[in-house]
Chains A and B, each alone.
Chain A
Amino acid sequence: MPRPDGRRASSAEGADQPVGHAAVEAAWRLEWPKLVAALTRLVGDIDLAEDLAQDALVAALDEWPRRGVPPRPGAWLMVTARHRALDRLRRDRVLAGKYAQLGPELLNEVPGTGDSSESESPIPDDRLRMIFTACHPALPAPARIALTLRLVGGLTADEIARAYLVPTSTIAQRIVRAKRTIAKEGIPFAVPEGPDLARRLDSALDVICLIFTEGHAASTGDRWLRLDLVEEGLRLARVVAGLMPDQPEAHGLAALLELQASRVRARTTAEMPLVRLDDQDRSAWDQLLIRRGFLALQRAHTLNTRLGNPPGRFALQAAIAAEHAIARTPEHTNWTRLARLYAVLAERFPSPVVQLNRAVAVAMAEGPGRGLALLENVADHGQLEHYHLLHAVRGDLLARLDRFDEASTEFGRAAALTANASEQRLLRERAAGCDAKGRTTR
């Protein structure tokens, strides 16, 4: 990639050298989420805040190429945007009436709010307010995702649309409608307090988890575009953990996503769109992300211990992912510990998929018979009847108990239920294998 400003940079200040448009835009982009969040707090309207940020970009494009990127671009943009806001208020009477209270506030605000030097102040970072506004439960899930990527992640509607394989207009409309709902419902631009905080944080973390999963679980579309969503999800999880260092579940989610992301490269090969954990080349696991995952998990654990809280659902899932991460080979996996973790997860946050995973862990730790017994409990509820993995797991356990006829039926059912061709082929092979063994043992 060519240098954005086409010159050799060595000056510490850099203020006396020319700067290209790309450099201005990169600096502006980096500041954009903070800038829009701070302006939204000031003017109480996301659209107006975005307009003002745009004004600041125009000013920067005019001034920075001549005078260089200022040492604190964020502060410069904020001061500029604030002046533009005042200009607009003076010119526009309608706007002035709407924002009558704003004039003094715009002037009194200490310049450079949101700058790193003030990160220790007890006032919550404006980006946090933005996260809680964008993830407000009054908004439908797709709107929350689009708003979070746009306003917190700083992606354009076009970039979001490309990642989600939908037309840009779809995302643009979603964002417009969501902003309208925020205005109409009077959704506050604030970090919730008291008992509300835990619930709202939970829903914000869910949004980030969904963004990551969309990229991680992608079975269709351009692999590289989908990996963008993995990166953005991880980035957002790190942002929230960084902004809310006292919240164990923020670190729990960060831990889970770091650990999941550590396997991304091993998860897909040229031949296989989805490589199972046991078959992955573990040397391709990203040790840096694993280390970061453990660190985040440690933080979650320390905070939970200090608060006297049991581990949250993300921390528990991260602990499970961590257990796999430390096993050098599949044979080194500590299934006893995994079975215990799944038991806790199933008890505190019950779901059929968790029960299914628990059955697998128990089968590995205590034998296929015990696993099968647990599996029948899940199957009795009927919720996973159409989930191919339920049948694949049952087939596997039955085969290990030498009940080949039943196993073959289950593998056949699983194959019929999956849309993934390579998985289907594997399942049919296993069904045929069971048929052959069934004949010889009969």
Chain B
Amino acid sequence: MRFLLMVQTPAGASEPTADGQELAAGMAALLEEMAQAGVLLDAAGLRPVEEAVRVKLAHGEQTVVNGPFAESKEFVGGYCLLQARSMDEAVQWARRFLSLHRGDWKMAMEIRQLDAPA
């Protein structure tokens, strides 16, 4: 089973900055651990939402909007694609990812199973 783990951060939230290096090191170690556990298929961080573009369709009309998007309460900052045995297992990896963020972080990890036969 494949799971997409999306890191969601509230719009406009300021990030605690003190542990930047520690966080980066922890993140690298976690990704390494995921790879060594044979579960990590793919992972990437995304460029800031200010650089994002949204192409919308409504009533047959398309519009192109530049980020940041006023109507969004949260945005995806990165993702991780895992091959896990169960949703429970995927949840555990998400927990570990969040645990790396010491201090007053506000974020969520949304986990979705890919709709594919294998």
Give me the interface of A with B, judged by CB distance under 8 Å: 1, 3-4, 9-14, 22-23, 25-27, 29-30, 69, 71-73, 116-117, 119, 125, 227, 230-231, 234-239, 242-243, 264-265, 286, 288, 292
The distance in angstroms between the C-alpha atoms of A335 and B87, with both chains bound, is 43
Q: Are B38 and A3 in contact (CB under 8 A)?
A: no
Which residue of the partner chain, among B36, B37, B93, B99, contacts A12 with CB atoms under 8 Å? B99
How far does the alpha carbon of A299 sit from the alpha carbon of B38 in the complex, in Å?
16
Query: Are A116 and B33 neighbours in the complex by a CB distance under 8 Å?
Result: yes
Residues 45-81 of B, flagged 1 when their CB comes within 8 A of A and 0 if not, give 0000000000000000000000000000000000001
Cα A238 to Cα B30 in complex, Å, equals 16
Of all chain B residues, which has the CB nearest A288? B41
Give, as a whole number of angstroms, the nearest-CB distance from B99 to chain A.
4
Bound complex: CA A271 to CA B38 (Å): 33
A-B contact pairs, 18 of them (CB 8 A): A3-B87, A3-B91, A9-B108, A10-B108, A13-B99, A22-B88, A26-B88, A69-B95, A71-B96, A72-B99, A73-B92, A117-B26, A117-B29, A237-B38, A239-B38, A265-B117, A288-B42, A288-B81
> Is A265 in contact with B118, judged by CB distance below 8 angstroms?
yes
Report yes or no: B92 in contact with A235, Cβ–Cβ below 8 A: no
Contact assessment for B36 and A243 in the assembled complex, using a CB-CB cutoff below 8 Å? yes
Q: Contact string, B83-117, partner A, CB cutoff 8 A, digits 1/0?
A: 10111110111011011011001111000010001
Cα distance, A31 to B102, chains bound together (Å):
22
B35 touches A14 (CB 8 A): no
Decide yes or no whether B32 CB sits under 8 A from chain A: yes
Cα distance A3–B81 in the bound complex, in angstroms = 19
Interchain residue pairs A-B with the least CB separation, the first 9: A26-B88, A238-B38, A242-B36, A235-B38, A71-B99, A116-B33, A116-B29, A239-B38, A1-B87
Are A235 and B39 in contact (CB-based, < 8 A)? Answer: yes
Given A22-B88, A26-B86, A239-B36, check contact A264 B99 (CB 8 Å).
Answer: no
Collect the chain A residues with CB atoms within 8 Å of residue B107's CB.
12
Q: How far is the CB of A184 from chain B (nearest CB, A)?
A: 31
Grouping DSSP codes into helix (H, G, I), strand (E, B) and loop, the A interface class, with mixed when no group exceeds half, is helix
> Smallest CB-CB separation from B29: which chain A residue?
A116
- B-side interface residues toward A, CB under 8 Å? 26, 29-30, 32-33, 35-39, 41-42, 81, 83, 85-89, 91-93, 95-96, 98-99, 101-102, 105-108, 113, 117-118
- Nearest A residue to B103 by beta-carbon distance? A12
Complex: A286 Cα to B105 Cα, angstroms: 37
Is B101 in contact with A12, judged by CB distance below 8 angstroms? yes
**Nearest Cβ on chain B to A171's Cβ, whole angstroms:** 18
Q: Does the CB pair B95–A14 fall under 8 Å?
A: yes
A10 to B74, CA, bound (A): 13
Chain A min CB distance to B20 (Å): 16
Whether B41 contacts A292 by the Cβ 8 Å rule is: yes
What residues on B are CB-neighbors of A12 within 8 Å?
Answer: 98-99, 101-102, 105, 107
